[in-house]
Structure 1
Amino acid sequence: MYQSFPKDELGLLPPGQDPAVTRPSRLSRRAKSGIAAVSLAVIAFAGLKGFGGTEAKADAPPPANVTIAQPLQRDIVEWDDYVGRFEASQSVEIRPRVSGQLQSIHFKDGDVVQKGQLLFTIDQRPYLATLAEARARVASAQTALALANSEYARAARLVSDEAVSQEEVDSLAAAVRAASAGVAAAQAVVRQRALDLEFTNVRAPVTGRISDRRVDIGNLVAANESMLTTVLALDPIYFTFEGSEALYLKAQRARQQGEDAAQQVEIKLQDESGYDRTGRVDFTDNAIDPRSGTMRSRAVLSNADYFLAPGMFGNMRLTAGGTHKALLIPDAAVRTDQARKVVFVVAKDGTVAVRPVEPGPLVGGLRSIRSGLNADDRVVIQGVQFAAPGSKVNPRPGKIDPPAGFKPAARPVQSPAASQATLAQ
């Protein structure tokens, strides 16, 4: 639409131009701009609509690739972990039983000595003299007894002739009995003096490793007081440890079920990687310590090479039961969902589902599962981060390799949970 503008009204025409020339009005340009905007909106809206009137959808991403496998079934034995200390099975302080001057030493410091081996000698001369005196007293008492017997026999022959009185005969009989007692007393003194002489030779009461001498030759030692040295019996050796009340109750429940009370133990030292030292529990204390709430126990094991020494620390595992079947999956397949442990399983249609589980101890890198999982479940073992509950995945078959190199064991599992487990092969 066009409109004429007189020259005198606008005064905008350049010189020589006809005032009747027409131009688009300002209103028509605005209308055209609005029509263009509406057209673009219609085109954009039409692009979002199909001919059928339905909305177009963006292409969905393809299902994530995950690796699945069925749990590995194996017989395992569970163990409880403890830390303890080695102790000598016997510890003896060597003290003299008689007093005197130390005359000789018959061992080297730190030697392994045998039971009955001579260790120290105390000056024997005073005890030889007292023994000789005691023997002389025995001879004197025997002479007095012989005289009393002779006098009694003579009086007994004369009593029938009424040459002696019955009272005198009875007195002589009493003298015989007194002389016999004197002989017995003198003989007892001889035995005592012989013992004192024997005690001048100080011998090892047990087989074990001896410490250093505490008294040098030439010193006077006092009976039952002076410390000469110590001997520790190290074969077998003890391993003492403390367990919680829960573990003590577990052992008691096992005994109620008729299991053998002699639980097997395996011990390793701080610089050892394997539990190569074996033994058995032979003692449990009679009360729980009220201060710590623990029960003290003891294991005994062989130490024929005397390698183990009292005071050494060791890590011990105690059988928490016997052999039982368990399901094993990679430890990375177990996820934490707030306060519970879960694994992801894939159904036949590729849908991911969540299974709350109760995990057990590790078995060579594989996590044992006590409950919540079935042997035929297809567990996501790789690509767990791509599995979401209810989503579709592209499962690929995998395999769980069993751990190797674990020793068999032989007892059932009780709660509470054990600290670790090994395969029973």
Structure 2
Amino acid sequence: MTFLQKILFNKITLVIVLIGLGIGGYKAWKAYTKPPLEANYKFYTLEKGDVTQSVSANGTLNPLVLVTVGTQVSGKVIKLYVDFNDRVEKGQILAELDPALLDAQAAQSAANVKSAEASLELAIANEKRSRELLAKEYISKQEFDTTVQALKAARAALDLARAQAQKDKTNQGYTIIRSPVSGVVVDRQIDVGQTVAASLQAPVLFKIAQDLRQMQIDSNFAEADIGRIKVGQAVTFAVDAFPNLSFSGVVRQVRLNATTVSNVVTYDVVVKVENPDEILIPGMTAYVNVIIAEKKNVLMVPNAALRYRPTSLQGNATSMGMKVKNEKKEGGFGIVYVLENGVPKPVKVRVGITDNRMSEIESDTLKEGDMIISEELKANGAQGSKSSHPPMRPF
């Protein structure tokens, strides 16, 4: 080997050594800076707490007792004494109708009564006279019977005239519209000068809420939820007018009459509501939650942890002989995962009630303080932390 060949060989050897050192150093640097396997997951620390399960629906706030005030006679409104939101007492005058026509009818009936009284007096006198003549045999028995019948007809005519007079007098009283209950006027549908006509159905003049401190919510619940709703269950609800306030009530009635709209069956659930400050107003939309179950101091997991499946198991039907499902139903079994030797390990748990965010679980192997996987960050393209310890609680 010549001198030049030795020099070339030494240079090639040096380059190979340097390349090897570079590759080794790069691998060592990658190994040093590579995040631990734990950094690929988001964890949740098991803890005990309270879980409240509820079913939800929308409803409308209504007065507990809403009385519709109408009129039994026709006439023109000549006076109004109350308006919207006015408080009224039982028997208070609300409005007056023009009584002119009914006054005339009452006067006519009174005159008919006097005429019937006069006819009765004449019939009595004729009957008395006929009786005397019959005793002296000046008239026949048939003629006497005719006078007796005339007397009875006169008495009946007087009773009829008096009944008609009483009816017309009563109708006179109906021209004054009075409140049947104490409460608040929530609706007025007449104005002065308007003519109201009472025919087959009494026209609506006013609507009076008997007591706005006692209200109810008429809510429509789906048939899938109605079997779990019982009278006496606690209710929480909110209204748009007070977004920062939460109100409470109690289920008063589950009505059996179903409503079907577009093949969707719902049932009216009536919720009794206390409204001592009268801030809730009839007609408000209420977002109702009926509390159907409550558990205190139980082991809880996020629903996301029950739905989690490792990427390595996607498409596999089983893990450790247990069927993996995305949805875990109340009262059934579910699977959560713990990290063991850098690999997600499934743990079978019994799932209890849920509030749609957290679920109650029971397990023979898991206890308070254990860490379970709630999310796989690598699957979402997230970067893991360099720390060798998993975060205590990322939520």
What TM-score, normalized to structure 1?
0.62
CA-to-partner distance for each residue in 1:232-274, whole Å, 9 max, x for gaps?
42634342222223113x33xx7xxxxx545442222122334
Aligned match for 2:248, one of 257, 277, 297: 277
Q: Which amino acid aligns with 1:278?
A: G
Distance in 2, matches of 1:266 and 1:145, equals 72
CA contact under 8 A between 1:71 and 1:375: conserved in structure 2? no
Instruction: Measure how far apart 1:186 and its partner are.
Output: 0.6
CA contact under 8 A between 1:119 and 1:202: conserved in structure 2? yes
Distance in 2, matches of 1:332 and 1:157, equals 110
CA-to-partner distance for each residue in 1:283-320, whole Å, 9 max, x for gaps?
42523415151313142434455433333212111132
Instruction: Measure how far apart 1:122 and its partner are.
Output: 2.2
Percent of pairs with identical residues? 20
Count of residue pairs brought into register by the alignment: 345
User: What does residue 98 of structure 1 align with?
Assistant: 73
2:333 is equivalent to residue 361 of structure 1: no
For the aligned residue pairs, the C-alpha RMSD in angstroms reads 4.8
Instruction: Measure how far apart 1:376 and its partner are.
Output: 3.5
Which structure would you say has the larger Rg? 1
Aligned match for 1:209, one of 165, 185, 191: 185
Distance in 1, matches of 2:208 and 2:103, equals 32
Aligned match for 2:370, one of 356, 379, 382: 379
Structure 2 unaligned blocks of 5 or more: 17-30, 315-324, 328-334, 378-386
User: What does residue 128 of structure 1 align with?
Assistant: 103
Aligned match for 2:218, one of 240, 264, 270: 240
Deviates more, 1:85-94 or 1:233-242: 85-94
Deviates more, 1:192-201 or 1:239-248: 239-248
Aligned match for 1:340, one of 306, 309, 326: 326
Residues 68 and 90 (structure 1), Cα distance of their counterparts in 2 relative to 1, 3 Å cut: closer
SS for the counterpart of 1:314 is strand
2:262 is equivalent to residue 291 of structure 1: yes
SS for the counterpart of 2:109 is helix
2:282 is equivalent to residue 310 of structure 1: yes
Instruction: Measure how far apart 1:92 and its partner are.
Output: 5.9
Instruction: Measure how far apart 1:95 and its partner are.
Output: 4.9
User: What does residue 405 of structure 1 align with?
Assistant: none
User: What does residue 167 of structure 1 align with?
Assistant: 142
Deviates more, 1:333-342 or 1:82-91: 333-342
2:92 is equivalent to residue 111 of structure 1: no
User: What does residue 238 of structure 2 align with?
Assistant: 268
SS for the counterpart of 1:286 is strand
What TM-score, normalized to structure 2?
0.66
Distance in 1, matches of 2:47 and 2:292, equals 23
CA-to-partner distance for each residue in 1:46-72, whole Å, 9 max, x for gaps?
xxxxxxxxxxxx999999699986541
SS for the counterpart of 2:191 is coil
2:174 is equivalent to residue 183 of structure 1: no
CA contact under 8 A between 1:333 and 1:382: conserved in structure 2? yes
Distance in 2, matches of 1:239 and 1:72, equals 34
Q: Which amino acid aligns with 1:367?
A: M
Q: Which amino acid aligns with 1:267?
A: F
CA contact under 8 A between 1:72 and 1:329: conserved in structure 2? no
User: What does residue 117 of structure 2 align with?
Assistant: 142
